[in-house]
Copies of this chain bind each other. A is one copy, B any other.
Amino acid sequence: MAEYSQTFSRLVNELSKLPNIGVKTAEKMAYRILTMDTESYSALLSSMESVRKNIGFCSVCGNMADVDPCPICTSPIRRKNLICVVRDARDISAIERMRSFDGVYHVLGGLISPMDNITPDKLKIKELVARVKELGEDAEVILALSMSAEGETTCTYLVRELRPLGVEISRIAYGIPVGGELEYADGETLSRALFNRSKI
* A interface residues, Cβ below 8 angstroms from B: 1, 3-8, 10-11, 13-15, 17-21, 24-25, 27-34, 40-41, 43-45, 47-48, 50-52, 54-55, 64-66, 88-90, 92-93, 96-97
The one of B3, B14, B41 that contacts A97, using a Cβ cutoff of 8 Å: B3
In the complex, are the beta carbons of A1 and B93 less than 8 A apart?
yes
> Is the Cβ of A10 less than 8 Å from the Cβ of B47?
yes
Q: Which residue of B lies closest to A97 (CB)?
A: B3
Given contacts A10-B47, A11-B50, A14-B47, are A28 and B32 in contact (CB under 8 A)?
A: no
A89: B residues at CB distance < 8 A: 31
A33–B20 touching, CB < 8 Å: no
Taking A7-B54, A13-B47, A14-B48 as known contacts, 20 extra A-B pairs with beta carbons closer than 8 A to each other, sorted by chain A number, are A3-B92, A3-B97, A5-B66, A6-B66, A7-B50, A7-B51, A8-B64, A14-B47, A15-B44, A17-B40, A18-B28, A18-B32, A20-B24, A20-B25, A21-B25, A27-B90, A27-B93, A33-B51, A34-B55, A41-B52
- Rounded to whole Å, the gap between the CB of A30 and the closest CB of chain B is 7
